[in-house]
């Protein structure tokens, strides 16, 4: 950030009085501009014991497979964002079964939230951000072609927890970065 969105003057990156971390502070009007993590909301859609994945038609990770997910919009709840992203990316209508994963990605200022979901009618397709969509059994997942560590972690946990009663877990992405060599 270089300029204040309130008055247009330049901003400085410094610790404001009474705070404990650097923020963008307007040199003219004194407004403190808080820039907080972005929320990614999506689903883990299931149909007949298979998972619906989307092959990305956009960067980053063009051509790689992912769960349907994207950035939450202002004025939206996390569940609304997950439903919207699933419809936009996979042309799939789903019913949510609850929050399944909350993954912290501090090195890129994001939090990823995935909801367990059931395809309502088994119908799906490729939205504008997807090259294709497909249903996969665990043995068919293209593990080496998954777009993001959070997708890999969510799918690994889903398949290992599939028969367990707990539906919610939290994973620190720092652990994922160490395992995957911090390349994504």
pLDDT class of 168 with cuts at 50, 70, 90: very low
pLDDT digits (tens, 9 = 90+) for 66-86: 999 999 999 999 999 999 999
- With a pLDDT cut of 70, the percent of the chain lying above it is 88
Fold that domain 1-35 belongs to in CATH: Ubiquitin Ligase Nedd4; Chain: W; (2.20.70)
Q: Is 79 helix (H, G, I), strand (E, B) or coil?
A: helix
Mean per-residue pLDDT over the chain, rounded: 90
Q: 38-180 domain in CATH 2.60.40.420?
A: no
Per-residue pLDDT, 160: 86
Residue 172: pLDDT above 80? no
pLDDT digits (tens, 9 = 90+) for 128-142: 999 999 999 999 999
- With a pLDDT cut of 90, the percent of the chain lying above it is 83
Same fold, 1-35 and 38-180: no
pLDDT class of 181 with cuts at 50, 70, 90: low
Of residues 168 and 21, more confidence is placed in 21
Per-residue pLDDT, 162: 77
Angle at Cα 144 formed by Cα 88 and Cα 116, nearest 5°? Answer: 40
Q: Are 64 and 146 in contact (CB under 8 A)?
A: yes
In terms of phi and psi (left: phi > 0; alpha: psi -120 to 50; beta: otherwise), the region of 79 is alpha
Q: Any bridge partners for residue 94, and if so which?
A: 119
Domain map (residue ranges) of the chain:
1-35, 38-180
């Amino acid at each position: 950030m270089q300029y204040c969105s309130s008055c247009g003057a330049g901003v400085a990156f410094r610790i404001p009085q009474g705070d404990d971390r650097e923020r963008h502070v307007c040199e003219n009007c004194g407004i403190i501009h808080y820039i907080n993590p972005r929320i990614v909301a999506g689903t883990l859609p299931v149909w007949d014991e298979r998972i619906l994945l989307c092959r990305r038609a956009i960067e980053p990770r063009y051509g790689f497979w992912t769960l349907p997910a994207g950035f939450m919009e202002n004025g939206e709840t996390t569940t609304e964002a997950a439903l919207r992203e699933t419809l936009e990316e996979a042309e799939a209508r789903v019913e949510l079964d609850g929050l399944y994963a909350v993954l912290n990605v501090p090195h890129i200022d994001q939090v990823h939230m995935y909801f367990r979901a059931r395809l309502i009618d088994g119908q799906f397709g490729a939205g504008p951000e997807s090259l294709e969509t497909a249903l996969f059994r665990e043995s068919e997942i293209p593990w080496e072609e998954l777009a993001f560590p959070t997708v890999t972690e969510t799918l690994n946990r889903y398949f290992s927890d599939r028969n367990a009663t707990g539906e919610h877990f939290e994973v620190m992405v720092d652990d994922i970065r160490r395992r995957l060599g911090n390349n994504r």
